[in-house]
Amino acid sequence: MHIKVLRDDLLDGVGPIQAVVETKRSLPILSHLLLETSPSHLSVFGTDLDIGVRKRIPGEVVKEGSVALSARKLYEIVRELPATSVDLIVDDELTATITCDNSEFKIKGLARNDFPSMREPQQSGIVLDRRLFRDMIRRTLFAVSSDQTRYTLNGILFRVTSQDVKMVATDGHRLAMTNHELSGKSESSSTLTPVDAIIPRKAAAETLKLLREEPGEVTIEISDNHLLLHTDDILIDARLIEGQFPNYEQVIPAHAAKEVTVNREAFIAGLRRTSTILGERAVPTTMKLTPGKLLLTCVNLDLGEARERLDVEYQHEEMSVGFNARYILDFLGALTTDQATIRLQDPLSPALFTGKDDARYTCVIMPMRL
Amino acid sequence: MHIKVLRDDLLDGVGPIQAVVETKRSLPILSHLLLETSPSHLSVFGTDLDIGVRKRIPGEVVKEGSVALSARKLYEIVRELPATSVDLIVDDELTATITCDNSEFKIKGLARNDFPSMREPQQSGIVLDRRLFRDMIRRTLFAVSSDQTRYTLNGILFRVTSQDVKMVATDGHRLAMTNHELSGKSESSSTLTPVDAIIPRKAAAETLKLLREEPGEVTIEISDNHLLLHTDDILIDARLIEGQFPNYEQVIPAHAAKEVTVNREAFIAGLRRTSTILGERAVPTTMKLTPGKLLLTCVNLDLGEARERLDVEYQHEEMSVGFNARYILDFLGALTTDQATIRLQDPLSPALFTGKDDARYTCVIMPMRL
């Protein structure tokens, strides 16, 4: 095998994929990346058996071939190389020689045969805008449960119908839900098979990192309990969580008569400030609503208290309700509108957080008893 | 007590000083910062008993007074405040009320009496350029020993004579030494008392952070085994290490006939690259010198090897010598000249690293057996 690639292209492939690779597994091959040529490019592939990622890098192939090299070492080497052309030659003993400018590295590789195989895309599936798909993950990922005993909650529900695409995650204290209506054109909704899949947290988080925030599309296929995502140059193959996601619709409050509208940035700043007094304690932040005003209060009995006054749109009677500020901040951090709307019924009923005049993103947060 | 200060000024004082404060000590007062007014400013003071730091912040004093507040909480609060005016009011029960824009914090304080006292400067001492003093610390700090059984090596020797100021640190494997000739004017060398002090690692490291990289001077006093450093607005009081620094001059090689001159940046890049193959191993980097050329080689028996070719000025016979690359990188990182000079005698004798044509900074590094 012999290929010439640009160092920056090589780093672009090796960097994100080595982060996916598991180094603690007992199978040594899993700490490696498979480098493989095809006539016009080099493909870099890494997997931890739960998620596999392959990226194509442009290169001038002198001689075709393949080799598996230590992911971490390859990354550390490529990172330090100057930004110029890199020559990668692999001999019959699978020793790779990497030459770049005045530097030369020889590292021992493993054979392609030992490497797990990867599914290939089927040229069909749901086509979504890449940024939209990233945004949907970003809006729900924080609500994924870490409770290992509730494994169907350890991922994001990904549901596709002929009308829309939905993502939902919940940890029992809060639920995040985002949906996107399918217009029917580029997304070929007419030919869509309905999908109901649970994408594990790691696969969702890695996808967020791997799909760049660039214009473009992503094609999504679900089969045999695997999720296959692909763009022009990247292919992600993730094992899905088996089982039934709970019926989340029942926790979405039907009655929530009192509506508050608050500026997103001011709300974030206020919650961050009042939270400083709390430290690690799971103490509620009190929201006291009076017409036109929101007063945030946190009390730490050992230390003192913090208050923040915000101007809001609110026209109902006085009401006090307590929340875990972290949950609200997670929601506000993923919100893309300038104003947030909160719908409340009473201090013990779940509250509905959305963007103002925007039904595409909703969080349900359980209050804390004051 | 009542004072109005700007949030940015307050953060400027609280931020660096809270980093000095020890939070794990049994004495609760040591996790606090003492805030104290004088007619025209607020002083912020923190100490871990080994090093104390006081900083003056401009402010409008409405009522004089003092209070000790939790360093970490105060920092977390001030960091989140908007960049505007802050009101700090302390009542007779030592509850501090911090008001800024729409935010209000009440935190419980402790009395000034409980706080350790700080030495005051005596208006005499050595006056040095602040950046020079920082540079001298930066050039030697990395060579300070971590071996607790050799406690006189756990700091930087600071030696002042009528001719010059010197800093030296060593861990037995390498020695870093920098000196600055006193010109006699701003530094008032005529009235100088000779000084021989060992500044502990933490005090040196904190001083590096606290003294900004700005033009200006620093006054240095040594008395009662304490180092007192002051600038216009900051005062650092550090306990010195007691004992005798070893006679370091005997390890500086008198004979080192072979001279190599190498570009600093290329040398750093080459050493970083060849080191990637090593991982955590204490394996030597081989420097093979031939006229005009330097070949760096690292071998990791499990993985492979790395080579880097550099053009250098060298006119002696071929020679190979091994070093811990980390030690050379530490030296090169603190070097301010474009070219480095290495003087070698033979593969087992200590080597002398300096800036080219610059005798003010020297490292002595012991080779590793190949």
pLDDT in tens, A92-116: 999 999 999 999 999 999 999 889 8
Tokens found for residue B89? 């009011």
With beta carbons less than 8 A apart as the criterion, state whether A287 and A323 touch: yes
Query: What are the angstrom distances between the C-alpha of A203 and each of A56, A132, A149, A272, B127?
Result: 19, 17, 19, 29, 59
The reply to whether residue A307 touches residue B269, judged by beta carbons under 8 angstroms, is no
Instruction: Give mean pLDDT, residues B67-73.
Output: 95
| Residues ≥6 apart with Cβ < 8 Å to A343 | A253, A256, A257, A258, A259, A351, A352, A354
* CA-based nearest residue in chain B for residue A98: B306
Long-range contacts of B183-189 (CB under 8 A, 24+ apart): B186/B127, B186/B217, B187/B126, B187/B127, B187/B128, B188/B126, B188/B127, B189/B162, B189/B163
Q: Pairing mode, if any, of strands A51-58 and A41-47?
A: antiparallel
Residue B186 reports pLDDT greater than 80: no
The overall average pLDDT reported for chain B is 92
Give the residue ranges of DSSP H helices in chain A: 7-20, 71-80, 130-140, 201-210, 264-275, 325-334
Among the listed residues B314, B330, B323, B223, the one whose alpha carbon sits nearest the alpha carbon of residue B262 = B314
Count of alpha carbons within 13 Å of B253, Cβ hemisphere only? 23
Number of A:B CB contacts under 8 A?
95
Which of chain B's residues have a Cβ under 8 Å away from the Cβ of A269? 80, 82
The reply to whether residue A305 touches residue B70, judged by beta carbons under 8 angstroms, is no
Residue A300 reports pLDDT greater than 60: yes
Which run of H or E residues covers position A305? strand A304-311
Instruction: Give mean pLDDT, residues A270-278.
Output: 94
Which of chain B's residues have a Cβ under 8 Å away from the Cβ of A277? 73, 77, 105, 107
For residue B313, the 8-state DSSP code is: B
Instruction: Give mean pLDDT, residues B349-353.
Output: 96
pLDDT in tens, A192-218: 678 899 999 999 999 999 988 788 999
Q: What's the full length of chain B, in residues?
A: 370
Q: What's residue B17's pLDDT? A: 95
End-to-end CA distance of chain A: 67
Which residues of B, range 108-127, sit inside 8 Å of A by Cβ? 108
Query: What are the angstrom distances between the C-alpha of A226 and each of A19, A120, A238, B312?
Result: 21, 11, 6, 56
With beta carbons less than 8 A apart as the criterion, state whether B224 and B120 touch: no
Residue B191 reports pLDDT greater than 70: no
- In a mutational test of the B interface, the residue from A72, A94, A102 whose CB has the highest number of chain B CBs within 10 Å is A102
* CA-based nearest residue in chain A for residue B107: A304
Q: Does B82 touch chain A (CB under 8 A)?
A: yes
A189 pLDDT tier (thresholds 50, 70, 90): very low
Give A228-247 as a DSSP string: EEE-SSEEEEEEPBPS----
The angle at the Cα of A360, spanning A325 to A318, to the nearest 5 degrees, equals: 45
Name the packing angle between helices A7-20 and A201-210 (round to 10°).
170
- Identity of the residue in A272, A274, A303 whose CB atom sits nearest the CB atom of B108: A303
Among the listed residues A144, A119, A352, the one whose alpha carbon sits nearest the alpha carbon of residue A252 = A352
Q: Residues of CATH 3.10.150.10 domain(s) within chain B?
A: 2-114, 126-248, 252-365
Q: Does B309 touch chain A (CB under 8 A)?
A: yes
Tokens found for residue A341? 């709307």
Per 3-state DSSP, chain A is made up of helix, strand and coil in percentages (nearest 5) of: 25, 45, 35
Q: At residue B181, what is the residue type?
A: E
* Third-level CATH fold of A126-248: DNA Polymerase III; Chain A, domain 2 (3.10.150)
Which residues of A, range 14-33, sit inside 8 Å of B by Cβ? none
Which residues of A, range 265-284, sit inside 8 Å of B by Cβ? 269-270, 272-274, 276-277, 279
pLDDT in tens, B227-250: 999 998 999 999 999 999 999 999
Q: In 10 A of CB B183, how many CB atoms?
A: 8
The reply to whether residue B305 touches residue A105, judged by beta carbons under 8 angstroms, is yes
Which run of H or E residues covers position A342? strand A339-344
Distance CA A17, CA A19 (A): 5
The reply to whether residue A270 touches residue B102, judged by beta carbons under 8 angstroms, is yes
Distance CA A66, CA B52 (A): 60
Residue B188 reports pLDDT greater than 60: no
ipTM of the complex: 0.85
Distance CA B7, CA B58 (A): 11
With beta carbons less than 8 A apart as the criterion, state whether A192 and A124 touch: no
The reply to whether residue B304 touches residue A102, judged by beta carbons under 8 angstroms, is no
Residue B283 reports pLDDT greater than 80: yes
Q: Does B105 touch chain A (CB under 8 A)?
A: yes
Number of H helices, E strands in chain B: 6, 25
Tell which wins on pLDDT, A187 or B336: B336
- In a mutational test of the A interface, the residue from B89, B101, B104 whose CB has the highest number of chain A CBs within 10 Å is B104
The reply to whether residue A76 touches residue B276, judged by beta carbons under 8 angstroms, is yes
The angle at the Cα of A148, spanning A142 to A154, to the nearest 5 degrees, equals: 35
Residue A86 reports pLDDT greater than 90: yes
Strand partners, A338: none
Which of chain A's residues have a Cβ under 8 Å away from the Cβ of B310? 102
Give the residue ranges of DSSP H helices in chain B: 7-20, 71-80, 130-140, 201-210, 264-275, 325-334
pLDDT in tens, B208-227: 999 887 889 999 999 889 99
* CA-based nearest residue in chain A for residue B294: A102
- Strands of B155-160's sheet in order across: B195-200, B155-160, B164-170, B174-181, B358-365, B351-355, B339-344, B258-263
Which of chain B's residues have a Cβ under 8 Å away from the Cβ of A89? none
With beta carbons less than 8 A apart as the criterion, state whether A328 and A342 touch: no
Residue B189 reports pLDDT greater than 60: no
Which of chain B's residues have a Cβ under 8 Å away from the Cβ of A105? 276-277, 304-307
Which of chain A's residues have a Cβ under 8 Å away from the Cβ of B297? none
Residue B153 reports pLDDT greater than 80: yes
The angle at the Cα of B126, spanning B123 to B130, to the nearest 5 degrees, equals: 105
What is the percentage of chain B residues whose pLDDT exceeds 70?
Answer: 96
Which of chain A's residues have a Cβ under 8 Å away from the Cβ of B109? none
- In a mutational test of the B interface, the residue from A72, A81, A276, A298 whose CB has the highest number of chain B CBs within 10 Å is A276
End-to-end CA distance of chain B: 67
Count of alpha carbons within 13 Å of B67, Cβ hemisphere only? 24
B263/chain A closest Cα distance in angstroms: 14
> What homologous superfamily does CATH list for B252-365?
DNA Polymerase III, subunit A, domain 2 (3.10.150.10)
For residue B368, the 8-state DSSP code is: B
Give B84-135 as a DSSP string: SEEEEEE-TT-EEEEEETTEEEEEE-B-GGGSPP-----S-SEEEEHHHHHH
Lowest-confidence segment of A126-135, A177-186, A237-246, A330-339 by average pLDDT: A177-186
Question: Domain B2-114 is in which class?
Answer: alpha beta
Number of H helices, E strands in chain A: 6, 25
Q: How much is the CA Rg of chain B, to the nearest whole Å?
A: 25
Backbone φ and ψ for B232, nearest 5 degrees, come out as -55, -40
A7 pLDDT tier (thresholds 50, 70, 90): very high
Strand partners, A229: A220, A236
Q: Does A307 touch chain B (CB under 8 A)?
A: yes
Lowest-confidence segment of A134-138, A159-163, B322-326, B364-368 by average pLDDT: A159-163
Distance CA A185, CA A128 (A): 11
Q: Does A308 touch chain B (CB under 8 A)?
A: yes
B274/chain A closest Cα distance in angstroms: 8
Residue B53 reports pLDDT greater than 80: yes
| Residues ≥6 apart with Cβ < 8 Å to A148 | A154
Tokens found for residue A355? 């963007």
- Identity of the residue in B103, B107, B308 whose CB atom sits nearest the CB atom of A103: B308
With beta carbons less than 8 A apart as the criterion, state whether B297 and B349 touch: no
Strand partners, A294: A289, A310
With beta carbons less than 8 A apart as the criterion, state whether A165 and A126 touch: yes
- Identity of the residue in B70, B276, B304 whose CB atom sits nearest the CB atom of A80: B276
Distance CA A101, CA B243 (A): 51
Strand partners, B95: B108
Which of chain B's residues have a Cβ under 8 Å away from the Cβ of A104? 306-308
Q: Does A150 touch chain B (CB under 8 A)?
A: no
The reply to whether residue B81 touches residue A273, judged by beta carbons under 8 angstroms, is yes
A268/chain B closest Cα distance in angstroms: 11
